Amino acid sequence: MTTPTKTAAPGKARERFLIAGEAGYSEYWRRDKSPVEILELAKLLLGIRKIVSYVGRNAGTVVWEGMVGKTDSIELDPAPIIGVYPIPAHRADVAIGAAVREAYGKTEWSDQLKKIALERFDRSPVYAGKYALFLTMAEKIYADLVANRSIFGLYVEKSRNWEIEIARKQFLQPPSFTELLHLWWEMAADREQQAFKREFQDHSAVGMGGATGIAQYYTQPLAVLNSIVGQMIEECGRLPSVTERCQYRAGLYAAAFDQLLSHVKFWVADRKDPFLMHDASGDDLETDQEKDALKATLVNYADEIEHNLKVNRVDYTDQVKSIVANFNEVARVESNDIVMPSKRCIDNALLYKLKTVLQSVAQRNVSYNRGLPSGRIDRRRLFRAPTSGLVFNAKKTKLELYNDIVLLVDCTGSMAEPNKWAKVEVIYQTLFLALATYNANARLLAYNERKDTCRLTEIYRQGRFYSVTPHGRTASGEAIIVTALGMRNRGKKPLIVHVTDGSSNWGCGVSDAIKYCDNRNISLLTLGLECDPMNKASLKKDYGDCIQFVDGVEHLPVVFKQLLSSSKFAHPGKATHGATAADGSPS
């Protein structure tokens, strides 16, 4: 049963539906599901990959355990989601949270940190196992703390609760080092960031009954561990580079473990502790057999899952190669549909000025609405005076740009500085809204690099602005050619407005792209945003008279007017006339 979350206005489609009985954050957005096991695993994996792409650079590719992946792949345990299809939302949340945590571990270099910290470990080898477990848990906590800064914190919380619940079934008789670490994880990664500031309290049935519980063992060690959480949140978060953050955490962990060791020196680490004599033929063996069976199942399904993971991206590489002279240097270029919502960053004062500039090149379209009950008398409708009395008309003047218009935005690595990207968002959103005022079919595209591929993405859809992560090298030539390939010359000269901050440093370059636009009778206008002198010289050499430089948002209207005036696009159109009756029929 589906019920709408809100009543839609007449004539408008409902935005979303709530499926009764589904509890989970992913239910809000996950709609592509299947009751077939292989298809459902592929669809969920594809969704997780899209989410992980928002975490940051170098997050790696997500695969299920048992599937063949790259060396930097994130292998997800499928145990939380296997068995029921379509996968319930609360189970999907667990898998998403685990993937997000692993992705933050990749971006924050957790593996490198653990390798460096173990190499520096100068204690007895007897304690190396405990130190490795401590480092792994500390990095899990740090990844959760980073995720808590965004909506991803909700998903890692679900994953954390599930992992702690599973681990509780394997805890040994207290005190044990593994139980201590999981108690620390539960307190330190709390989204409210208050639990680690309080003293540990035993909420088990034994502890609440007043009997001697686990608090006698874990209170003091947890106080030592919780003493570094504030530094992980505050001091470490202020460091600008990932290298500095790694070095800081490595030193912090080493100092904390030295204090902790006096409390846990003689504790059993976990069930795999080499100094613990126990029978491995019980629950441990059964658990391992279940995992092996699950992994073998996914190995059999791996090829089919990968086949269903194929995304319908359009590859334009061969088309670009057939156009340019230096086809051996062409970068791979594809369309992309992975976007994230963007805040609306419209500067209203700037929008008004840009509209005024565009009025000078817009075409005036005059139309008449006839058959009205009031207005100016229409002599051609006087015969209706004795009957309906609808003998009036109203004159409407509308400025329009009939050209096929695309605003193309450079979203590569040079734009990644937060302050710079904020200004760029204001500029391209305001400029596009001004263009869309006079041309309802104007399009907004962005290009960046992902995995050695130039990705071209439409970032304005159905009245909403979206965004992509600024990343990678600049393949402006390929992006311009692909944009031009999608434009139609319907008697009016098409227009590409290219916004960039530097010259192309990858691919075929822009010279062939400019020639192709000239041959297709497409106007290519380029705006250089906050370019340094070296980039200005390079861009001027590449684009010639088709580029103007903007050093500040306030200069954009003047610069854009100069750019339009210097181009062949600036040709005033004649007014066209049309008439429409009140009932919609032409007259």
Bridge pairing between strands 460-461 and 576-581? unpaired
8 A C-beta contact, residue 243 and residue 226? no
Q: Give the global pTM.
A: 0.64
CATH 3.40.50.410 residue spans of the chain: 333-346+402-566
CA distances from 558 to 56, 208, 361, 408, 544 (A): 37, 73, 14, 20, 19
What's the rounded Cα separation, in Å, for the pair 409 and 386?
59
What's the rounded Cα separation, in Å, for the pair 199 and 208?
15
8 A C-beta contact, residue 491 and residue 463? no
What's the rounded Cα separation, in Å, for the pair 457 and 469?
11
| Tens digit of each residue's pLDDT, the chain (587 residues) | 444 444 455 556 655 555 555 678 998 888 888 888 888 988 999 899 989 988 877 788 888 887 766 667 898 988 888 888 899 999 999 999 999 999 999 999 999 999 989 888 888 778 888 999 999 999 999 999 999 999 999 999 999 999 999 998 888 888 889 999 999 999 999 999 898 988 888 766 454 444 456 878 889 999 999 999 999 999 998 998 999 999 999 999 999 999 999 888 888 877 776 655 444 444 554 555 565 665 565 666 666 676 666 666 788 999 999 999 888 889 999 998 878 888 888 999 999 999 888 888 777 777 778 888 888 888 787 777 778 878 788 878 777 777 788 999 999 988 888 788 888 999 999 999 999 988 888 999 999 998 889 999 999 988 899 988 888 899 999 999 999 998 876 657 788 999 998 888 889 989 999 999 988 888 898 999 888 888 889 999 988 888 888 888 888 888 888 887 766 554 444 444 444 444 444 44
Query: How would you write 148-170 as a 3-class SS string?
Result: CCCCHHHHHHHHHHHHHHHHHCC
CATH topology of domain 333-346+402-566: Rossmann fold (3.40.50)
- Look up residue 494 and give its DSSP letter: -
Count of C-beta atoms within a 10 Å radius of residue 221: 23
